[in-house]
Structure 1
Amino acid sequence: MWTNLFRKLKLEYYKLLRMKGAPAFVARGFSVGIFVEFITLPTFGLAFLLLFPLVKLFRASLPAALIAFFLGKLVLPIFMVINYNIGYALVGKPLQHPAVQHQEAWQEWLVWVQKKGLAYFTGSAIMGLFVAAASYFLVYAALQLYRRKKARRTLPQSRTSP
Structure 2
Amino acid sequence: MTETQRKSGWLNRSRRIVKYYYLKVMRNSGSPEYIARGAALGIFIGFAIPIGFQIAAAVPLAFLLKGAKIPAVVLTFISNYATVLVIYPLQCYIGGFLIFRPFRWAVLVEKLHGLLEERTLASLMELGTPIILSFFAGGLLFGILTAVPGYYLTLRLVAGFRRRRAERRAKEAPGKL
Q: TM-score range by the shorter chain?
A: 0.7 to 0.9
Paired position in structure 1 for 2:133: 118
Q: 1:75 to 1:142 in 2, by over 3 A?
A: farther
AA matched with 1:55? A
Paired position in structure 1 for 2:55: 48
- Whether the 8 Å contact between 1:40 and 1:48 is mirrored in structure 2 is no
Indicate the RMSD between aligned Cα atoms, in angstroms: 2.7
Paired position in structure 2 for 1:57: 64
Identity between Structure 1 and Structure 2 (%): 24
Matched, 1:39 2:48: yes
Q: Which has the higher contact order (CA 8 A, sep 6+)?
A: 1
Question: Which protein has the larger Cα radius of gyration, Structure 1 or Structure 2?
Answer: 1
Structure 2 unaligned blocks of 5 or more: 1-9, 104-117
Paired position in structure 2 for 1:11: 20
Matched, 1:145 2:147: no
Q: TM-score, normalised by structure 2?
A: 0.70
Q: TM-score, normalised by structure 1?
A: 0.76
Structure 1 unaligned blocks of 5 or more: 96-104
* 1:72-111 → structure 2 map (5 Å cutoff): 72-73=79-80, 77-93=85-101, 109-111=124-126
Q: 1:15 to 1:47 in 2, by over 3 A?
A: closer
For 1:29-58, what per-residue CA distance to the aligned partner results, in whole angstroms no more than 9, with x for missing partners?
Answer: 1111111121222xx633432222211121
